[in-house]
Amino acid sequence: MRILVTDGMDKGAIEKVRAMGHELVEQFYEPDELGKALRDFDVAIIRSKTKLRAKQIDEAKGSRFKCVIRAGVGLDNIDVQYAKDNGIEVKNTPKSPSESVAELAMAHMFSCARYISIAGHSMREGKWEKKAYGKGIELTGKTLGIVGFGRIGQKLGKMAKAIGMNVIAFDIFHIPGIEEELGIPYVEMDELLAKSDFISVHAPAVDGGALINAERIAKMKDGVVIINTSRGTNVDEAALLDALNSGKVRAAGLDVYADEPATNVALYSHPMVSCTPHIGSATVEAQGRIGEELVEIISKM
């Protein structure tokens, strides 16, 4: 097969794919060029930077192009159903990034609890504001509510319990036996909102508006911490900013944004926001695992 890699791929995995006899081309294409370029490939491997929308699918359909593989979990940068309706398979690597994303969510929880982001920034400005940032909180004994209890949510739940947090979860799907296995109960959303000191979102992007909006923020505890490493549209950024400014939300840890690269300067520059530029799966280990999962997928094609 002739395979296009648009956003990079683990070098070891590239070597293995080439050793199978496939031709692999590493090349990023702008949206206006992508659809036509895909006509010359059997498979495309993309990450979050590349968007495969109806326009590109229309330009590629009817050619040798037959499959797009998302190197990661989320598929919101692909018009999945439209691709399938036009004979293009859509695959992803859901297992590989779980540890890295869960660890980043935990890191943001610590950062928000102890002012790590803003305190470090102030020191780089030559300030020593020990008193200003001397009112941190501990995670131990606090309640973490996980919205979306798939692989990543479960990993985070295990980590949180290991440091002494109480953990509850909400998901529209209930996995049989998982509550007993992990000691983490499912609860309804309103109960999670009312009981949680920290809320971490790990759900796919959903139609019909943000999972965390003004109405749901109003139901949360005063001083709650909100973490989002899932999809930017899962949290209403305007509502979150208002809640940060009012003090209803103590702090927020964000790795994802409604627009990427992020454009909401007021939000990501807020002193009580710990922010990263969508790096949830950007670890050496995760990229290696993603590469191995990609090799496995290609080997079965």
Task: Work out whether strand 224-228 and strand 273-275 pair parallel, antiparallel, or are unpaired.
Answer: unpaired
The residue whose two tokens read 């796919």 is 204
CA 156/CA 150 separation, integer angstroms? 10
CA 33/CA 40 separation, integer angstroms? 12
Question: Taking residues 169-190, what's their average pLDDT?
Answer: 97
Question: Taking residues 210-227, what's their average pLDDT?
Answer: 97
Order the strands of the 43-46 sheet from edge to edge.
23-26, 2-5, 43-46, 67-70, 89-92
Long-range Cβ pairs for the range 40-43 (8 Å, 24+): 40/2, 40/64, 41/2, 41/3, 41/4, 41/65, 42/1, 42/2, 42/3, 42/66, 42/67, 43/1, 43/2, 43/3, 43/4, 43/67, 43/68, 43/69, 43/298, 43/301
CB 268 within 8 A of CB 236: no
Q: What is the pLDDT of residue 288?
A: 92
CA 73/CA 210 separation, integer angstroms? 19
Q: What is the pLDDT of residue 217?
A: 98
CA 212/CA 266 separation, integer angstroms? 18
In sequence order, the β-bridge partners of residue 2 are 23
Confidence category of residue 265, pLDDT binned at 50, 70, 90: very high
CB 28 within 8 A of CB 4: no
The residue whose two tokens read 């499912």 is 186
Q: What is the pLDDT of residue 286?
A: 92
Question: Taking residues 272-285, what's their average pLDDT?
Answer: 94
By mean pLDDT, which of 69-78, 168-177, 278-287 is the weakest? Answer: 69-78
Question: Annotated active-site positions, please?
Answer: 231, 260, 278
pLDDT tens string 11-61: 999 999 999 999 999 999 999 999 999 999 999 999 888 999 999 999 999
Q: What is the pLDDT of residue 259?
A: 92
pLDDT exceeds cutoff 90 at 94: no
Share of the chain above pLDDT 70, in %: 100
CB neighbours (10 Å) of residue 35?
Answer: 21
Tokens of 51: 């968007």
Q: What is the pLDDT of residue 193?
A: 98
Question: Taking residues 237-251, what's their average pLDDT?
Answer: 98
Q: What is the pLDDT of residue 75?
A: 85
What DSSP assignment string belongs to 4-21? EESS---HHHHHHHHHTT
What DSSP assignment string belongs to 58-97? HHHTTSS--EEEESSS--TTB-HHHHHHTT-EEEE--STT
CB 227 within 8 A of CB 249: no
Buried/exposed 157-176: b ≥16 CB within 10 Å, e otherwise: bebbeeeebbbbbbbeeeee
pLDDT exceeds cutoff 90 at 72: no
Q: What is the pLDDT of residue 46?
A: 96
Question: Taking residues 94-117, what's their average pLDDT?
Answer: 95
Q: What is the pLDDT of residue 206?
A: 79
Confidence category of residue 227, pLDDT binned at 50, 70, 90: very high
Q: Which of the two residues, 152 and 206, has the higher pLDDT score?
A: 152
The residue whose two tokens read 């496939």 is 22
Confidence category of residue 209, pLDDT binned at 50, 70, 90: confident
CB 192 within 8 A of CB 220: no
Spatial CA neighbour of 50 closest among 67, 68, 63, 36? 68
Share of the chain above pLDDT 90, in %: 91
pLDDT exceeds cutoff 80 at 275: yes
Confidence category of residue 208, pLDDT binned at 50, 70, 90: confident
